[in-house]
Structure 1
Amino acid sequence: MGILLMNIVAFSMPMAAYINPTAFGGATGADLATYLVNYVLFDGKMRGLFSFLFGASTLLVIERAQSRGVSAAGVHYARMFWLLLFGLAHLFLIWWGDILAHYAIMGMILWFFRNRSVGKLILIGVLLLVLEFLLMASMPMWIWALQNGHAGDAAQTAKGMLAMQKTVGVPPAGIIDASLAVHRGDYAAIVADRIARHGLAPINMIFFVGPETLAYMLFGMAGYRSGMLTGAWSRGRYVRWLLIGFGISLPAYIAGAVYMVQSDFDMLAVASAVMTMPVIFRPLMILGWACLIILLMREGGALTARIAAAGRMAFSNYLLTSILCATFFYGYGFGFFGYLSRFEIYAVVLVVWALMLLWSKPWLERFRYGPLEWLWRSLSRGRPQPLAGGAIADA
């Protein structure tokens, strides 16, 4: 649900709008406020929390396979293989912003850390984040070099500036217009454009965000093994880490927001505040979010039960969200791509959230798994798994 707060921009607008609000979608009034709230509280944090949970669930599946006396490696790699295929199908057939293929690739690497202690998992994760920071720091350094004439001759500088405008700045109007035309067109044109622009995304992501993703998965393993993600900590400990996580990260993000606004979202400011600085502070806010959610969830509460059901069907809800949003915004559906402002698109988020909460619990009262969870499980085990029975009733 939190990931959709950010993904909705990528569903509804040209890609440049995701990072820089002045590129498209509105950068004043409610639109600017929406961007800044998302930047401070949600951008990257929900994806990071998802990565934490992916690492935790991977360790849980491995331990359960070992307890059943079956090959844990066989179970794990079968799951990752089919997740990779699901992700590639999602990427090419539904939406360019797929994360599943990347998670599957990182999950294959994750196996080799399954027996590490909590301390070593955290240490390796921190080292990976140092590597990620060095990768991300190269972007503002490159922009500074371009802006100050230290990036080669005029032709090289112009080429570099255009690349950075497409990434963290305001692309030329022709590029925005082309994106609008494609996504307001038919399905074949959208798929062809997606393959041309994002066909190598799973490979590129390994080098761009792979260290960070793997670090968060390792933190998730540590969180599971330490009891943090299972609710085993004392209330006081959760409160303490909530205050530490938000107390350190919130001021940094607020400072980043002020910096971007005061610079009128200059490329150097956006690259520094959105791409580089968060590598340091985002893990602390993710930890804060995890602690806050655990503290807020009241056992037996009606809303808690519905959110828990939506979470047990995260795979189905993730892909269903892509289908719904692509149908609503793209030309082969209702064709709203580029017509709603940054603030207005959140009406769509509320509708999708409501659908998740309305259908997940009734489904799990009748069936053991979500539909795609069942398919993934059946394919991974090489035979159809029992579906009827009701996961909530079984729990």
Structure 2
Amino acid sequence: MLYLFGAIILAFLFYYYRDFVEIVWYSSDYSAMIETNWKTGSYINSIYWRLDELSDFIFNLVRQYSWFLIGAMLMGAALMASGWLQRRYSQSHYGLIAVCFLVISLLFQGTLVITDYYLDWHYMWSAVVAQPITMVIQIIQSLGYIALLYWAWPYIQHSFIAYALRCVGKMALTTYLLQSIIGTTLFQRMGLFNQFTLLQLMLFVMAIWVINIIFAVTWLRYFSQGPIEWLWRHSSTGLAKRF
């Protein structure tokens, strides 16, 4: 019910902003120029823009997506309590769930994207109708990917891929900050923002993935946890002892 309620709220908000389509939905040459200027301009100017956007981001997060976040947490708690997230079910069960959920969700997603394309991303369809439906479908798709991973785990748990993913997961905060620094340096400080096509940007994504994996695997050969994780743990321990 939370997901359905959240989808209805999202559809209502998109419909409410229908008179501001040119601002909130379509990207003009002028808006692209403004975004490029503040992202590739002085660092202080970028900070001012980010601080100005922060309040709007937090407000929209609570207003538009809090229902989905609360629903995801409640669903995760229920799946953990039932043992589903603890891999207490059979491998065939997870395989069946993966096939069913991924086929259903990808068919829906594909249909929505194709319709978006043929309607030229018309606001009333793409934003008011398709976007809320997509938010609900993503829940099914996420569970399908989790089930697929649980089904495949016995086959890949001793592979280098699994080991590398464990290393990246163990250094999740460090990895996130590292890729943020790389992206900010390349596209904002070095002026590469808005210079590449989507396909070319995918090559950057894969390169950053490789850098993250190499860094995490190498670091954990010599240390038990990532640098930011170590700092966070020791800071938390120090505060706990103080209070």
The aligned residue for residue 316 of structure 1 is: 174
**2:103 and 2:193 mapped to 1: Cα distance?**
38
| CA distance in structure 1 between the aligned counterparts of 2:167 and 2:6, rounded to whole angstroms | 34
The answer for the alignment partner of 2:4 in structure 1 is: 130
Counterparts in 2 of 1:273 and 1:355: CA distance versus 1, 3 Å: farther
Q: Residue 210 of structure 1: which of 57, 66, 77 is its match?
A: 66
Q: Is the 8 A contact 1:257 1:273 kept in 2?
A: no
Aligned equivalent of 2:36, options 176, 180, 183: 180
- Give, in whole Å, the separation in 2 of the partners of 1:344 and 1:300: 33
TM-score, normalised to structure 2, is 0.89
| Offset of residue 348 of structure 1 | 0.9
User: Does the CA-based 8 Å contact 1:165-1:267 persist in structure 2?
Assistant: no
Q: Map of 1:103-114 to 2, 5 A cutoff?
A: none
- Contact 2:95/2:147, CA 8 A, preserved across alignment: yes
SS at match of 1:300: coil
1:246 and 1:288 in contact (8 A); partners too: yes
1:238 paired to 2:112:
no
**How has the CA–CA distance of structure 1 residues 251 and 273 changed in structure 2, closer, same or farther, with 3 Å as cutoff?**
farther
Per-residue Cα deviation, 1:210-248 (whole angstroms, up to 9, x for no partner): 110121122222333333333332101101211221132
By percentage of residues, which structure has more helix?
A: 2
Distance change (3 Å), C-alpha of 1:219 and 1:367? farther
Alpha-carbon distance in structure 2 between the residues aligned to 1:322 and 1:166: 27
* Distance in structure 2 (CA, Å) of the matches to 1:288 and 1:223: 13
Letter in 1 for 2:22: Q
Query: How far did residue 138 of structure 1 move?
Result: 0.9
Paired residues for 1:46-195 under 5 Å = 127-142=1-16, 146=18, 160=19, 163-167=20-24, 169-195=25-51
Q: Is the contact between residue 139 and residue 271 of structure 1 (CA under 8 Å) also seen in structure 2? A: no
1:264–1:200 CA distance, 2 compared to 1 (3 A): closer
2:105 match:
249
Q: Does 1:373 align with 2:196?
A: no
- In the superposition, the TM-score normalised over structure 1's length comes to 0.57
- In 1, the alpha carbon distance for the partners of 2:60 and 2:13 equals 16
Query: What SS class does the counterpart of residue 189 from structure 1 fall into?
Result: helix
2:9 maps to a residue whose letter is L
Q: Classify the secondary structure of the residue corresponding to 1:233.
A: coil
Q: Distance in 2 between matches of 1:172 and 1:303?
A: 42
User: Cα deviations across residues 290-334 of structure 1 (Å, max 9, x unaligned)?
Assistant: 11122233121111101111111111111111111011100xx21
Q: Residues 255-308 of structure 1, C-alpha deviation per residue, up to 9 Å, x if partnerless?
A: 101110110111122214652111321111000011112223312111110111
Q: Which runs of 5+ in 1 are unaligned?
A: 1-126, 147-159, 385-395
RMSD of aligned alpha carbons: 2.2
Counterpart contact for 1:137–1:276, Cα < 8 Å: yes
The worse-fitting range, judged by mean Cα deviation, of 269-278 and 183-192 is 269-278
Cα distance, 1:139 vs structure 2: 4.0
Question: Percent identical across equivalent pairs?
Answer: 21
**Structure 1 CA distance for aligned equivalents of residues 164 and 100 of structure 2:** 29
